[in-house]
A = this chain, B = another copy of it.
Amino acid sequence: MLLILEKNISLKAVNELIGRLQWMGFQVVKGHHDNNRESLALVNSLHKQLNPAAFKDLPGVIDVLPLDKPYKLAGTDFKSKPSIIPCQGLSIGGPGIVIMAGSCSVESEEQIMETAKLVAACGATILRGGAYKPRTSPYDFQGLGEIGLHYLSQAAKQYHLLSVSEVMDTTEIDLVANYIDILQVGARNMQNYSLLKNLGKINKPILLKRGLSATYKEFLLAAEYILSAGNPNVILCERGIRTFETYTRNTLDIAAIPILKELSHLPVIADPSHGVGLRNMVAPMSRAAIAAGADGLLIETHPDPDKALSDAQQTINPTMLAEIINSLEPIAISLDRSIIRSQ
């Protein structure tokens, strides 16, 4: 249930109302239903039996709307306008389109510094790199750990980029958040609910990747775990689903982009590198994702892809990245958008 508040309600009145609702036993989440109206969402599961009329008389409430979708806070009933996630001066989800680029793993200080320099020159604004790597085999390279976070952070700062990196466990959240601007939840952890709940308690943006066999509904409910725990800054990432086709690593579900943007106010980006797993397909699939309405891209880029420690087959070089970003511009413009370029 969503309580729409009076237009010029005072902060004090809002807080009193929240207190009263909490005292009644509700979990209350503050939001903006649309550009002009503040709202309070009651999201605990009991409210199905509630009588909306009983809430209309509360002081400061001018309307009561249903929140019928299972993803109450991620859905457009809670917020009809697209969310714009603020991140150190960069806006994710607005008319601008963000490019996140970098290597699968942080391999060394020099490697990530060189990568940062090159992707910044291409126009990317966010540097990606894994320090904690969820590898299928325990015997594969597991990432550099904290020192990798440090290198990534330094490289990003040096070239005026933001940083994004994966967090794999609740016990590592504080550590990763200490170094990195955007915390990524990998596809394999999309339903690691303990991790999601704890990421809901910090306020850095969370890049949530779709699970390999997650439906749209499950994906939005995973986001809901973060939102309902208090962190409104969630970015959804379509990164390919598992199908019967073996020529590609995954099947990048481009339709997920416009559908998630129709069901939810959260920004949606695409990862064409993992989504197909083939270097030559990064360019056409990047164009397809932007043409379908994506708010950004996450592209594995390495100064020397064939020497990358992981995911070499799907990693492109900076020359290809520059060409791709240039080819996106006219598509973005045709949709009244533009690619945000690093300065």
Instruction: Enumerate chain A interface residues (CB-CB to B < 8 A).
Output: 43-45, 70, 72, 134-141, 168-172, 188-189, 191-195, 197, 212-213, 215-218, 221, 224-225, 228-229, 241-248, 251-255, 257-259, 262, 275-276, 278, 280-281, 284-285, 287-293, 327, 330-331, 333-334
Q: Which residues of B contact A334 (CB under 8 A)?
A: 327, 330-331
Contacts A218-B136, A248-B259, A334-B330 given; does A284 touch B280 at CB 8 Å: no
- Stoichiometry, copies per complex: 4
Contact of B246 with A243 in the complex, beta carbons under 8 Å: no
User: In the complex, A45 Cα to B259 Cα: how many Å?
Assistant: 34
User: In the complex, A288 Cα to B289 Cα: how many Å?
Assistant: 6
Q: Which residues of B contact A275 (CB under 8 A)?
A: 255
Q: Which residues of B contact A242 (CB under 8 A)?
A: 213, 244
- What residue of chain B has the Cβ atom nearest to residue A200's Cβ? B138
Additional A-B contacts beyond A138-B224, A139-B224 (11; CB < 8 A): A43-B139, A169-B195, A188-B191, A188-B193, A245-B253, A248-B259, A251-B253, A258-B284, A258-B285, A288-B289, A291-B331
CB distance from A280 to the nearest CB of B (A): 7
Q: Which residues of B contact A216 (CB under 8 A)?
A: 245, 247
Q: Which residues of B contact A290 (CB under 8 A)?
A: 291
Contact of B139 with A45 in the complex, beta carbons under 8 Å: yes
User: In the complex, A70 Cα to B138 Cα: how many Å?
Assistant: 9
User: In the complex, A241 Cα to B293 Cα: how many Å?
Assistant: 22
Contacts A242-B244, A284-B257 given; does A171 touch B168 at CB 8 Å: no
Q: Which residues of B contact A169 (CB under 8 A)?
A: 169-170, 192, 194-195
Contact of A291 with B281 in the complex, beta carbons under 8 Å: no
Contacting A281 at CB < 8 Å: which of B225, B244, B258?
B258
User: In the complex, A330 Cα to B293 Cα: how many Å?
Assistant: 15
Q: Which residues of B contact A170 (CB under 8 A)?
A: 169-171
Q: Which residues of B contact A293 (CB under 8 A)?
A: 284
Contact of B245 with A262 in the complex, beta carbons under 8 Å: no
Contact of A137 with B291 in the complex, beta carbons under 8 Å: no
- What residue of chain B has the Cβ atom nearest to residue A187's Cβ? B191
